[in-house]
Structures are given as structure tokens and as C-alpha cells.
């Protein structure tokens, strides 16, 4: 790039910095900047459009268009050339704007005189802020140097906007990070919470986007890059014996850290006049913009690696680590792009809620959040770019909605909801010791799900009659290496102690699919939910299963023990696993260890195939627990991680209820205990309908026991069963409308 061009760019940035340093109001500063850019670029027009809301751009300042059009000209996202730049995040450079695709004529601006058009997105780390436009009468395409120079200017404008340089009257000039915002995501864990934002990785603030001395900035960049490379090499050395996936990520880090292209682009940005920090963030912003356009999963992961590496480099340059000196608020709502189970457990029950940009309903974070009974919303896109530490935030895990800096009307309505839930919980305390017996005399056992020692106090406070599912994989997921048998013995023993004689159903290790152990070699499977997971891993890796079975038997120490195998798809898998139990019991007897007083061995019915197993299987299995979450996704062929399809299918669908009825009948014929475990067991209407179909044990999160019991006590199951039967005879797809209306009439 010519030195003269770089010099002109630095001059323009120097003039922009002078504009930033003035005490002018935001509008006056914007007006001055459009004049400076037009003058430096040699164009008749320079205009700045900013977002007034998520879908609308507003002309906020111009040099060359009619002054009266400022704050009057607006367009929707994607509308006209400006809207096209904003929507795509890509440059539009055309010598003949009126004939360009998407052109929209705006007579109030007087722009019909100008032929050439160059539009540059103003964005910061994926957050779209507006569009910078230059136009001229002469029909020409702007050169690559001119485009590049204006991209550098757009980067500085984004940083200036972040620092509040353009605050003024009107929605488009309102301060960033102060407006109310609502985010729609998915439900990871139900519940509602109000508190203040705690960012897991606080955003880096760049206060010096423009630099005087490019040589010094290059030195700073090179020093930071060297420190980054040394850090990546050190991580690689420490992870040589780690899993393949972790090594691949670190190798990608090393590749980017040594990328000549990445380095060259940042050096060019610095030569144009940006500081080292601003140059890094410019590249990071463009990587995020490209990430949005890429469909290929591998390329998206590599761009995400570059994004993470840029964050590390920015923290080195600015000295802004994760520890900012801010104190954790008394009511923290954790906000993060994503988070591992170990980090989440470190926060523990201090968190009131969790909001993630990524994650899924079956992710490690969701498993831990459910175990800790913390409301969780996943897929809340862009919340980390909008939220600041200490912001007021409300999380509705039931609806998958997050209110950031909510308005008074939202606060009032939300607090009313929380108060109603608190009142309901208070009412449920009065029936805590009351057996769940329906109006027509049917007894339903309500038990709870658990996975951590922290869950066990809920046995007493919720009124649960036992633990219908203890997830043993959590102790494996939160560690960097396989837990020792002695550690598992101690944990399982404490669980049985805390249960005080109530039945605890220990589910053996359920890993694979979305639950991959950090120290276990991952498998590259096109559909892991249908792949090598749960009992399949246990039977192929019998050493791990035997170690866990030994730990359970020793922890029981003469007490009753109940073990359940997950994801059994055919009878032979259960028999093979049962044989491992028998071998382990015999081995423990020979070693002189005290054997359990009684031993129940069961299976989770999570695949439709097991419902059609030979009757001999139903006769020999100790008990069955329907794993509703997996069973429903396989029954309807609808991935429960896919928001586009999972909500289309209803538990009260007549086909699904008929399928459940068939399982109940087979278990009744053989006298096999049957329970239902999953999200639907904790939803009152669904739970009572499952009871009406004949299921007499329901396993759910502790907070759901009160609401489910309350409805059971007020329900006649025989009458409800009749409503369901009538709906099936009528051929309706779902009995939900009829059931809901019947409950409404019952009061």
C-alpha cells in the first residue's frame, strides 16, 4: 500500500480524534465527522446512518445531502443500498447506484444527482451499529485503497459509538447499553429470576482506537503476538496427552497465531492509523461477520477459534483480564457465550439465573443448571454484546425470554409472576407430607431427579418420596480425568446417607451424544444422539462399568441398592449389563466386601424398540423407567436440540399417549414396576395425563413436585381418562385442548 495513502488515512484519523476530544454534543460531532470524511475522501457526500431499533436505520448526519432529511429519512433493514449493507454486513461499491440491485430512490435527500456509491458497515464484534456512506457525481468505482481506508474509519466510528461519542436526542442517538432489550431463546431450565448481570468474560473496552506512532503500535502488537504464541505452545505441551479434539483446537490456535495473512492485515490497519487494540478488534469484527454468513460447521468452528484467539490477544494488549476488580453482585445472573460444567459448578448456587448465547437443552451447562435448579435460557443471541456488568436483568426460563434493563411495566409484571410462584410454593408446603392420592383414590408416587450432593436436601423440603433418577455422569463430566473408585464410593455413600432410607435409583454412566467426557477420545459421528452412547459405551468399555458397579456396591455397604441402565434398545443389552452386575457382585463377595441387602436392576426405556421387546424381557427386568425426553424425540423423529421442530410435537398427542398406554399394559401383564422420568413428568397437566394412562410413579425436578401433587389431589383420573379416550375416538391429533378445557371447568 502506498505510503501516501497510509499518510492520508492517518491524517483523517488524527482529525477524527480531535473531533472526539471536543466537548460538542453528539449531533455536532457527527456533523463535523461527515464533513471531515467527505473532505478527506474528495467526495461530495458523506452520510452516517445509525440503527434506531433492531430493524430500522435512520440518517443521522450528512455532508452533501439535504440537511432537512437528517433524522427524517429512515429505511428498514435490507431496504435500499444502505439497508442492504446493514443486513449483509458487506461493502457495496457501485459506480451507478440507481441501477444497482436493491436501489431505493429517496427524493427528500436530493441524492439523485450522485452516481457513485460506497457503503461500509459500522459494526463491532458482530453488533451492527449502522452504515457509513460516501457518494459522488462522477460515475466511478472506489478503489481498493479507498474502500480499505473507509473500513478503518468505520471501525473507529464503531468504537466512538461504544464510548458514547454520538449521544443526542432521538432513538438513533440514544446511549448504547442503556435501552431496554428483550432476547428470545430456548428453555434450558425452567423458573424465573431477577438480578444483575455478571459477565463470565467481561468485554474488552478500547479507549484508544487511534494511535500517533504506528511504529510503537507495531512493536506492541509484535510483543503481544509473541506472548500469545508462547502461551499457545505452552498449552499444547501441557495437553499432549489430552483428547484429540482439544489438541485440534490448540493446533488451530497455533495456526492462526502464526498466520501471516492475519498479521499482515493488522499491520496494514496500524499503518492506516489504528492502535494495536483497534486493529485486532477490526479483524475480530470481520471474522464474526464472516461467521454469520458461513454455513459449513467446520469453517464456523475455525472462525470461532480465531474469535477466541483475538480475545486472548486483546486481553494481553489491554491488560484487561477476566478479573476486572468488580465484585460479584448479591443477585448475579450469569451471562456468557457458553460455559463448561466445571466453571458453572464453581459459581454454584450463588447464581440466580444463567443466560447463554450458545448452549442447548442437553448441554453440560443445562445438566448442571437443572441439578442446581437455576433458571437457564440458551440461544439468547447477541446478549453478550449488549449486556454490561451490573445491568438489571430478568430471566424467564419457562418462556425462554430475557429482559435486559427492563422498563417499569415489564418489571411490575415479572415481579407479579415471581410473587405468584412464591405464593404457590408456600401453598405447596402445606401439602408436602400429604400423599398424592387422586379424588378417585389412585396413589401416585412422586420422586425427584438429582445429580449432585447439593440436590439431596430437596428430598425433605420438596416432599419427594425418593430419588427416581440420580445422574452419575455429572461427577465424570466436571473433571479433567477419570474419578477414582474410592472417590465414587465416598460420593454414593453420602447420597445414600442423605436419602435416609428412601429409595435412590442410580443411573449408570450416561455419556456420549451431547455429554462427552473431556478426557475421553471423542467419536466423529454424524448423528451422536443415535450413536455410541450410554449402555453402548458401557458394554464396549466394561472396565469403566465394572469400576462404577463396584463403587455402588461398596457404597451401599449392606443397604438396599437400585441400579438402572440407560438407553437400552434391546433385551440383550440389558442381559449383558445384568451379567456384569452378577459378576461384580460375586467378585465383591470373594473380596469380602459387604453386599447390598437387596439389589434391584432396571432399565430406561428411551427407544421405541424396547417397548416391543419379547414378553420374557418384561418378565425378567427388575423395573422400567420411561425416559421421556429421548423417547419423545425418537418417537416423533424430532431432535430435541432443534428449536424448529421440537416444539411441533406434543406429549398429549394421541399417538404418543396410545404408545405410553401400550407400555403400561405390558408392564401390568408382567407385574413390572414402571415410572416416567423427564421434563413432562414435572409439568402438571402432562404429569396428570400420564397418571391417567396408568403410570403411578413420576420422577421430576424437586420444584415441580408441589405443583404436580396439587393438581393430582384435585383430579379424578377415571374422568380424565374418559376425556382422553373420547379425543382418541374422535381422531384429534392432540387431546390438549379438550383436557385444558376440562380442567378449566373443574376449577
Cell of 127: 453488533
**What average pLDDT does this structure show over 231-243?**
69
Q: Is the pLDDT reported for residue 1 higher than 50?
A: no
Q: Is the pLDDT reported for residue 512 higher than 80?
A: no
**Other C-beta atoms lying within 10 Å of the C-beta of residue 731:** 7
- At 655 the pLDDT is 95
**What average pLDDT does this structure show over 596-612?**
96
**What average pLDDT does this structure show over 158-163?**
81
What pLDDT digit, counting tens, does each position of 282-326 carry? 888 877 777 666 666 666 666 667 777 787 888 888 877 655 556
**What average pLDDT does this structure show over 663-685?**
95
CA distance 651 to 640: 13
**What average pLDDT does this structure show over 156-171?**
80
| Catalytic-role residue among 364, 379, 654, 667 | 364
Q: Is the pLDDT reported for residue 55 higher than 80?
A: yes
**What average pLDDT does this structure show over 34-62?**
92
What pLDDT digit, counting tens, does each position of 676-688 carry? 998 899 999 999 9
Pairing of strands 697-700, 673-677: parallel
Q: Is the pLDDT reported for residue 57 higher than 50?
A: yes
- At 8 the pLDDT is 67
46 is annotated as an active-site residue = no
**What average pLDDT does this structure show over 578-587?**
95
The residue with cell 444502505 is: 82
Pairing of strands 56-63, 181-184: unpaired
Task: Tell which residue, 259, 530, 201, 639, has the closest CA to residue 384.
Answer: 201
- At 3 the pLDDT is 46
313-316 LR contacts (CB < 8 Å, sep 24+): 313/224, 313/225, 313/228, 313/280, 314/204, 314/206, 314/277, 314/280, 314/281, 314/284, 315/204, 316/224, 316/227, 316/228
Q: For residue 519, what pLDDT band results from cuts at 50, 70 and 90?
A: very low
Sign of CA dihedral 494, 499, 504, 510: negative
What pLDDT digit, counting tens, does each position of 372-391 carry? 778 999 989 889 888 888 99
Residue pair 624/605 in contact (Cβ under 8 Å)? The answer is yes
Q: Is the pLDDT reported for residue 46 higher than 60?
A: yes
Q: For residue 584, what pLDDT band results from cuts at 50, 70 and 90?
A: very high
**What average pLDDT does this structure show over 351-378?**
81
CA distance 49 to 131: 5
Greater model confidence, 471 or 177: 471
- At 446 the pLDDT is 97
**What average pLDDT does this structure show over 529-542?**
81
**What average pLDDT does this structure show over 641-662?**
87
Residue pair 68/108 in contact (Cβ under 8 Å)? The answer is yes
CA distance 646 to 189: 16
What pLDDT digit, counting tens, does each position of 207-236 carry? 778 887 889 999 999 999 898 888 888 877
Greater model confidence, 688 or 98: 688
442 is annotated as an active-site residue = no
**What average pLDDT does this structure show over 181-197?**
89
Q: Is the pLDDT reported for residue 367 higher than 80?
A: no
**What average pLDDT does this structure show over 573-586?**
95
- At 524 the pLDDT is 60
- At 299 the pLDDT is 64
Least confident among 49-63, 97-111, 136-150, 703-717: 97-111
Q: For residue 172, what pLDDT band results from cuts at 50, 70 and 90?
A: confident
Greater model confidence, 284 or 341: 284
* Per-range mean pLDDT, top range of 61-75, 278-292, 635-649: 61-75
- At 373 the pLDDT is 78
Q: For residue 364, what pLDDT band results from cuts at 50, 70 and 90?
A: low
**What average pLDDT does this structure show over 71-78?**
91
**What average pLDDT does this structure show over 546-553?**
95
- At 324 the pLDDT is 53
Least confident among 159-163, 379-383, 435-439, 504-508: 159-163
Residue 407: phi and psi, rounded to 5, are -75, 165
**What average pLDDT does this structure show over 584-608?**
95
Its pTM stands at: 0.68
| Catalytic-role residue among 46, 60, 667, 677 | 677
Q: Is the pLDDT reported for residue 196 higher than 70?
A: yes
Task: Tell which residue, 345, 365, 346, 364, has the closest CA to residue 355.
Answer: 365
CA distance 734 to 656: 9
- At 492 the pLDDT is 94
- List, in sequence order, every residue forming a beta bridge with 450; answer none if it has no partner: 470
Cell of 465: 418420596
Q: How big is the CA angle at 513 (ends 510 and 517), to the nearest 5 degrees?
A: 65
Q: For residue 350, what pLDDT band results from cuts at 50, 70 and 90?
A: confident
- At 2 the pLDDT is 38
Cell of 173: 442517538
Q: Is the pLDDT reported for residue 550 higher than 50?
A: yes
- At 377 the pLDDT is 93
Q: Indicate the average pLDDT of the chain.
A: 86
Amino acid at each position: 500500500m502506498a505510503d501516501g495513502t497510509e499518510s492520508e488515512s492517518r491524517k483523517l484519523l488524527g482529525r477524527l480524534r480531535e473531533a472526539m476530544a471536543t466537548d460538542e454534543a453528539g449531533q455536532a460531532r457527527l456533523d463535523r465527522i461527515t464533513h471531515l470524511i467527505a473532505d478527506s475522501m474528495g467526495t461530495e457526500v458523506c452520510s452516517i446512518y445509525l440503527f434506531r431499533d433492531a430493524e430500522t436505520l435512520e440518517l443521522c448526519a450528512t455532508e452533501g445531502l439535504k440537511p432537512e432529511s437528517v433524522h427524517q429519512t429512515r429505511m428498514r433493514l435490507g431496504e435500499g443500498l444502505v439497508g442492504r449493507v446493514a443486513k449483509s454486513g458487506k461493502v457495496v461499491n457501485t459506480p451507478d447506484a440507481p441501477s444497482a440491485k436493491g436501489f431505493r430512490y429517496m427524493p427528500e435527500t436530493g441524492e439523485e444527482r450522485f452516481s457513485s456509491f460506497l457503503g461500509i458497515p459500522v459494526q463491532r464484534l458482530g453488533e451492527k451499529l449502522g452504515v457509513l456512506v460516501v457518494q459522488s457525481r462522477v460515475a466511478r468505482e472506489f478503489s481498493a485503497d479507498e474502500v480499505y481506508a473507509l473500513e478503518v474509519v468505520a471501525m473507529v466510528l464503531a468504537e466512538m459509538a461504544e464510548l458514547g461519542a454520538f449521544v443526542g436526542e432521538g432513538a438513533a442517538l440514544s446511549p448504547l447499553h442503556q435501552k431496554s432489550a428483550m432476547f428470545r431463546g430456548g428453555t434450558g431450565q425452567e423458573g424465573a429470576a431477577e438480578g444483575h448481570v455478571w459477565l463470565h468474560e467481561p468485554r474488552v473496552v478500547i479507549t484508544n482506537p487511534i494511535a500517533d506512532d504506528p511504529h510503537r503500535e507495531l512493536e506492541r502488537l509484535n510483543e503481544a503476538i509473541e506472548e500469545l504464541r508462547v502461551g499457545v505452545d505452552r498449552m499444547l505441551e501441557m495437553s499432549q496427552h489430552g483428547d484429540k479434539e482439544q489438541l485440534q483446537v490448540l493446533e488451530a490456535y497455533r495456526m492462526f497465531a502464526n498466520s501471516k495473512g492475519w498479521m499482515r492485515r493488522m499491520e496494514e490497519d496500524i499503518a492506516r492509523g489504528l492502535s494495536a487494540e483497534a486493529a485486532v478488534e477490526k479483524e475480530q469484527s470481520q471474522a464474526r461477520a464472516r461467521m454469520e454468513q458461513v454455513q459449513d460447521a467446520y469453517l464456523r468452528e475455525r472462525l470461532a477459534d480465531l474469535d477466541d484467539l483475538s480475545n486472548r490477544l486483546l486481553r494481553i494488549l489491554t491488560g484487561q483480564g477476566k478479573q476486572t476488580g468488580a465484585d460479584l453482585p448479591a443477585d448475579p445472573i450469569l451471562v456468557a457465550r457458553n460455559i463448561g460444567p466445571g466453571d458453572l459448578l464453581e459459581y454454584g448456587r450463588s447464581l440466580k439465573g444463567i443466560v447463554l448465547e450458545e448452549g442447548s437443552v442437553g448441554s453440560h451447562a443445562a445438566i448442571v443448571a437443572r441439578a442446581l435448579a437455576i433458571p437457564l435460557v440458551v440461544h439468547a443471541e447477541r446478549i453478550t454484546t449488549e449486556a454490561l456488568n451490573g445491568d438489571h436483568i430478568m430471566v424467564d426460563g419457562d418462556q425462554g425470554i430475557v429482559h435486559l434493563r427492563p422498563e417499569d411495566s415489564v418489571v411490575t409484571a415479572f415481579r407479579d409472576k415471581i410473587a405468584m410462584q412464591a405464593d404457590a410454593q408456600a401453598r405447596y408446603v402445606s401439602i408436602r407430607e400429604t400423599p398424592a392420592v387422586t379424588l378417585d383414590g389412585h396413589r401416585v408416587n412422586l420422586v425427584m431427579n438429582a445429580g449432585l450432593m447439593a440436590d439431596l436436601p430437596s428430598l425433605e423440603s420438596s416432599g419427594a418420596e425418593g430419588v427416581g433418577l440420580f445422574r452419575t455422569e455429572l461427577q465424570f463430566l466436571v473433571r479433567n480425568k477419570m474419578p477414582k473408585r474410592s472417590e465414587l464410593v465416598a460420593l454414593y455413600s453420602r447420597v445414600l446417607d442423605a436419602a435416609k432410607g428412601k429409595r435412590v435409583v442410580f443411573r449408570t454412566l450416561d455419556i456420549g451424544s451431547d455429554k462427552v467426557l473431556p478426557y475421553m477420545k471423542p467419536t466423529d459421528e454424524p448423528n451422536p444422539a443415535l450413536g455410541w452412547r450410554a449402555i453402548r459405551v458401557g458394554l464396549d468399555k466394561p472396565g469403566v462399568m465394572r469400576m462404577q458397579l463396584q463403587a455402588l456396591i461398596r457404597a451401599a455397604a449392606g443397604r438396599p441398592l437400585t441400579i438402572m441402565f440407560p438407553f437400552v434398545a434391546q433385551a440383550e443389552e440389558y442381559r449383558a449389563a445384568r451379567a456384569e452386575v452378577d459378576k461384580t457382585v460375586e467378585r465383591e463377595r470373594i473380596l469380602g466386601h459387604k453386599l447390598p441387602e437387596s439389589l434391584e436392576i432396571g432399565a430406561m426405556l428411551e427407544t421405541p424398540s424396547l417397548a416391543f421387546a419379547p414378553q420374557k424381557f418384561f418378565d425378567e427386568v427388575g423395573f422400567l423407567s420411561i425416559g421421556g425426553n429421548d423417547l419423545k424425540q425418537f418417537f416423533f423423529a424430532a431432535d430435541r436440540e432443534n428449536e424448529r421442530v421440537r416444539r411441533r410435537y406434543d406429549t398429549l398427542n394421541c399417538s404418543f399417549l396410545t404408545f405410553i398406554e401400550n407400555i403400561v399394559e405390558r408392564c401390568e401383564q408382567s407385574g413390572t414396576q414402571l415410572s416416567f422420568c423427564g421434563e413432562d413428568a414435572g409439568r402438571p397437566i402432562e404429569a396428570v395425563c400420564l397418571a391417567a394412562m396408568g403410570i403411578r410413579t413420576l420422577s421430576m425436578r424437586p420444584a415441580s413436585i408441589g405443583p404436580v401433587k396439587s393438581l393430582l389431589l384435585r383430579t379424578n383420573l377415571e374422568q380424565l381418562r374418559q376425556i382422553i379416550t373420547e379425543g382418541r375416538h374422535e381422531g384429534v391429533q392432540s387431546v390438549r385442548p379438550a383436557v385444558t378445557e376440562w380442567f378449566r371447568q373443574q376449577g
